[in-house]
């Protein structure tokens, strides 16, 4: 059986379009009364989102996406933060589709990732330069290949800003999966030996969908846990400060490119 099941799906136009959803919201009178920001920071962690809400000047906007969508006032409301919508490739794919249809064209995803390499320090910043497409969503947008890639200019700017911030950062490959509780020892050994740095649940889909939609996207992570041959070491409770750093890196990068 091939995947997706229907052959040559990528040549066909989808019946369901994000633009139609926005038209529907207008008809219901729940269309957001704002000028679309130029860029969005995608945030999965409620902890970091709450920190940003408490420590930055923001304007909350309803009816955009998810429970929490904020404009950053110090960016002249041209950069936004989106969170509290869930995790994983399917939901972030919907996010990209709908926010692109709303008029937003640049995205940086910030979140945690598991390390496959023991030498990566807890809290290290990872700038993803390619992702293994081991999730399902991306394969509905493009022919199946092993890797997907972020927008080059955005990623280069992330690296430049990380250097300027003197961060402990690494660049490299991430393994994107839909099934975190099916990450097997054989896969761990294989990807570790290939030099893959991390495992997470969104990057590969973000990159493929961004290319499909002709928008820009990048992904950065902080190390939150370790996958080893002996056990799974969890340190999620120690990542809050490092997630703050990711937010700052994403904000500075989008500001440099868009403002």
What is residue 69's predicted lDDT score, i.e. its pLDDT? 97
> Would strands 39-43 and 106-115 be described as parallel, antiparallel, or unpaired?
parallel
**Which is nearest to 219 in space by CA: 202, 236, 240?**
202
Measured CA to CA, the distance from residue 254 to residue 38 in angstroms comes to 9
* Cβ neighbours for 44, distance < 8 A, ≥ 6 positions apart: 83, 86, 87, 110, 111, 112, 202
* Cβ neighbours for 18, distance < 8 A, ≥ 6 positions apart: 97, 98, 100, 101
* Cβ neighbours for 162, distance < 8 A, ≥ 6 positions apart: 125, 127, 169, 249
What is residue 11's predicted lDDT score, i.e. its pLDDT? 85
- Does 3.40.50.1580 match the CATH number of domain 39-258? yes
pLDDT per residue, tens digit, the chain (259 aa), is 678 999 888 889 999 999 999 999 999 999 999 999 999 999 999 999 999 999 999 999 999 998 899 999 999 999 999 999 999 999 999 999 999 999 999 999 999 999 999 999 999 999 999 999 999 999 999 999 999 999 999 999 999 999 999 999 999 999 999 999 999 999 999 999 999 999 999 999 999 999 999 999 999 999 999 999 999 999 999 999 999 999 999 999 999 999 9
Domain ranges of the chain: 39-258
Prediction pTM value: 0.97
What is residue 1's predicted lDDT score, i.e. its pLDDT? 61
């Amino acid at each position: 059986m091939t995947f997706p099941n229907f052959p040559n799906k990528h040549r066909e136009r989808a019946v369901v379009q994000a633009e139609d959803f926005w038209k529907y919201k207008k008809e219901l009178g729940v269309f957001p009364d704002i000028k679309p920001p130029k860029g969005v920071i995608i945030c999965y962690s409620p902890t970091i989102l709450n920190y940003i809400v408490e420590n930055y000047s923001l304007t909350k906007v309803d009816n955009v996406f998810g429970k929490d969508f904020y404009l950053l006032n110090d960016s002249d409301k041209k950069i936004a933060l989106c969170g509290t919508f869930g995790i994983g490739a399917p939901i972030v794919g919907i996010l990209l589709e709908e926010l692109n249809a709303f008029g937003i064209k640049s995205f940086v995803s910030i979140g945690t990732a598991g390390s496959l390499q023991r030498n990566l320090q807890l809290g290290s910043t990872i700038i993803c330069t390619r992702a293994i497409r081991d999730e399902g969503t991306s394969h509905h947008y493009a022919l199946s290949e092993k890797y997907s890639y972020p927008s080059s200019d955005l990623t280069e700017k992330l690296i430049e800003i990380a250097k300027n911030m003197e961060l402990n950062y690494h660049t490299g490959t991430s393994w994107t999966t839909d099934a975190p509780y099916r990450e097997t020892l054989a896969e761990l050994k294989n990807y570790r030996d290939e030099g893959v740095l991390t495992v997470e649940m969104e990057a590969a889909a973000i990159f493929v969908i961004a290319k499909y939609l002709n928008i820009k996207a990048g992904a950065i992570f902080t190390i939150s846990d370790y996958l080893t041959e002996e056990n799974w070491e969890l340190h999620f409770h120690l990542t809050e400060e490092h997630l703050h750093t990711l937010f700052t890196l994403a904000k500075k990068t989008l500001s440099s490119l868009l403002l």
